[in-house]
Amino acid sequence: MPPSPRPQATPQPQLPHQRGDPTASTPTLHPVLPPHPPSSRVVDRPPLRLSCRPLRRRQPTEGPHMPRTRTRAKFRGWAIAPLAAVPAIALHDLFDSFGINGTDAWLATSAALALLCATIHLATSTLNQRHDPPDDRDFELQIADLCRRDGLLAVQVAPDANVKAYLPNGSLVLISCAPIPHEARPLDLHDFIGTAHHNHQADIPIFITRHGFTTEARRFARHHGIVLLDQPRLYQWQQGHGLTTLVTTTP
């Protein structure tokens, strides 16, 4: 049996550089990098669990900023109740001794308690206003209002000296409201001297502080022609004494 003929190979197309073309360039073969081997470390993580419950903000359990809850308010009300009952019983017995009995005694007791609470609230508010001085901006505005009350003209709040105004005779008044937490010393007055005499040519420079002045500061101010107003003198100004009177009577 004759051997079967071999299958002829299909001719492959030749590239230009294989046909002997001198102008053809040999293609550059780039090596194929093997794929990055997978990490052999397998991390076993639990599946995520999504919760539909809303997040709760944790409230502080102690400290000055603890929120007022209904339980705390109720406890506070029960704690105040005995304190209010003691004067109520005492007032009821007092009215009973005067011959006021029954419903009239309780009505009189309620009226007396209301009057007592109003008096305590008014006294507390007055003490808080005395012991809590206003901030710097409010203090400047109060000084400016006092100047307008005394008839000063063109009152304005200056950036370098707090209040600037004019007397009816044209004299320039320059006031410095210094927020000094201690008694003013000559060093505290030094900058105001340059501002008053050189920058503004003030006729009446006034330095105000609520904490008083040292003896050296008073001597220094007297030498440079500065009027000093401390807390007592400022209180006199608020009570109705005119600014010109305070200036002429300053020791």
Residue with the larger pLDDT of the pair 4 and 209: 209
Would you give the DSSP letter of residue 184? B
Written as six digits, the tokens of 179 are: 């927020």
Report pLDDT digits (tens) over 79-130: 555 656 666 677 667 767 767 776 777 777 777 777 777 787 777 666 555 5
Judge whether residue 137 has pLDDT over 70.
yes
Q: What is the pLDDT of residues 191-212, one digit of tens each?
A: 888 888 888 888 999 999 888 8
Task: Quote the pLDDT of residue 110.
Answer: 76
pLDDT in tens, 52-84: 444 444 444 444 444 444 455 455 555 555 656
- Whole-number pLDDT of residue 35: 52
DSSP codes of every residue in 26-66 = PPPPPPPPPPPPPPS-----PPP----SPP-PPPPSSSTT-
| Residue extents of the structural domains in the chain | 78-131, 136-248
Class of domain 136-248: alpha beta
Q: Is the pLDDT of residue 223 over 50?
A: yes
The separation between CA 244 and the C-alpha centre of its own chain, rounded to angstroms, equals 37
pLDDT tens, position by position, 22-50: 555 555 544 544 554 544 444 455 554 44
Residue-wise pLDDT tens digits, 145-198: 999 999 999 888 776 668 999 999 999 999 998 788 889 999 989 888 888 888
Cβ distance 159 to 174 under 8 Å? no
Q: Are 143 and 156 in contact (CB under 8 A)?
A: no
Whole-model pTM? Answer: 0.47
- Residue 159: φ, ψ to 5°: -70, -40
Largest CA distance in the chain: 154
Q: Which residue has the higher pLDDT, 241 or 41?
A: 241
- Return mean pLDDT, the chain: 71
Confidence check: pLDDT of 13 > 70 = no
Q: Average pLDDT for residues 125-136, to the nearest whole number?
A: 56
